Amino acid sequence: MFDDFLDLEGSGGDHLIHVWPVPYQGTVSFDTGTKDGPEALFRASYQIEPYDPELDADISDYCSFKTLPFQRPVASGPGQMQQEMDVFLEKFDPSRDFFLTLGGEHSIAFPLIRFYSRAYPDLTVLQVDAHADLRTDFQGSPHSHACVMSRVRELGIKTVSLGIRSMDRDQAQIIKNSPAHIMAMHPWELPPPAQAAEAVKNFIGPGPVYITFDADGLDPSIMPGTGTPEPGGLEYTWINDFWKHFWPGPKLVGMDFCELAPRPGSVLSESVGVKCILRILLSYFRTI
């Protein structure tokens, strides 16, 4: 369907990025449309310049992109979908292969996190999100998008959460009672980006990091295209400045961008999504 991302298929950078579209929305709990997120991100990427004038850097100088086949969704539920993803990932090496995975709902992040945890026992997951996603199960499934970080915790992986502002009381208690394993920066208490980046790096330590970016972590004024919007989210300038200060720092092993549900008649959300992805990749790869 699509041959390239950012119109940079086979560009000259030394670092290969596998772009994997996974248009799955089997457990969405409010509005639908995340199955269209990967295609919308591809379309928007053709209109986004690979050069970042603030960083004075062009992603094509650092990275080349290879688009993988769209992962076919299954109808039997998120558990089976995750197993299908596991099978596909067996062809790759988590110690070498960098995935940019485009969802789809947030449940698709878990197979990638599990994949990288096999090579990196000291892995930390950095979650940008409006929701804690720490439910044990949701609507009858432990594999729901609302449970992904609970499954991550079961792997013994430390997590950092930016932007969370929606959770039930039980999830809030999990965060409060796990200061050694969960660092949460809520929007109402965010320090300046440079200070936040330093605090996160201190929490992570020398180990590697995987980024899972849920579109609803951003404020709906700039990211209206998501199935479960929450007011009071991260500002575009804050999160992009955060990445600029986060590196040099931990090794980035892979990332995903999930929960984009494009809105008819608007290309705002997918354009913002691509710009956020580009800033993360450039902020990291230009420093290594």
Specify the pLDDT at position 262.
Answer: 95
> Do residues 173 and 215 lie in contact, with contact meaning Cβ atoms separated by under 8 Å?
no
Kindly state whether residue 273 falls inside one of the protein's structural domains. yes
- Pick from 30-39, 170-179, 217-226, 237-246: least confident: 30-39
Non-local CB neighbours of 157 within 8 Å, separated by 6+ positions: 113, 117, 123, 124, 125
Q: Give the β-pairing of 63-67 and 209-214.
A: unpaired
Kindly state whether residue 8 falls inside one of the protein's structural domains. no
> Do residues 208 and 122 lie in contact, with contact meaning Cβ atoms separated by under 8 Å?
yes
Q: How far is CA 111 from the centre of its chain?
A: 13
Task: Report the distance separating Cα 274 and Cα 254, nearest Å.
Answer: 16
Coil vs helix vs strand at 144: coil
CATH number at residue 160: 3.40.800.10
Angle between helices 78-89 and 109-117 (to 10 degrees): 40
Kindly state whether residue 167 falls inside one of the protein's structural domains. yes
Q: Which two tokens stand for residue 246?
A: 């986060």
> Do residues 163 and 174 lie in contact, with contact meaning Cβ atoms separated by under 8 Å?
no
Specify the pLDDT at position 2.
Answer: 59
Task: Report the distance separating Cα 81 and Cα 71, nearest Å.
Answer: 9
Q: 68 lies in which domain range?
A: 15-285
Whether pTM > 0.75 for this model: the answer is yes
More confident residue, 157 or 3: 157
Per the structure, the count of domains in the chain is 1
Kindly state whether residue 5 falls inside one of the protein's structural domains. no
Kindly state whether residue 258 falls inside one of the protein's structural domains. yes
Over the stretch 121-171, which tens digit does the pLDDT of each residue have? 999 999 999 999 999 876 667 667 778 999 999 999 999 999 999 999 999
Kindly state whether residue 4 falls inside one of the protein's structural domains. no
Kindly state whether residue 246 falls inside one of the protein's structural domains. yes
Question: Residue 158 pairs with which residues in a beta bridge?
Answer: 124
**What does each C-alpha distance from 73 to 18, 65, 104, 112, 194 come to in angstroms?**
19, 23, 10, 16, 39
Q: CA angle, corner 113, sides to 109 and 119, nearest 5?
A: 155
Specify the pLDDT at position 141.
Answer: 72
Over the stretch 69-124, which tens digit does the pLDDT of each residue have? 999 887 767 888 899 999 999 999 999 999 999 998 999 999 999 999 999 999 99
Kindly state whether residue 144 falls inside one of the protein's structural domains. yes
Specify the pLDDT at position 78.
Answer: 80
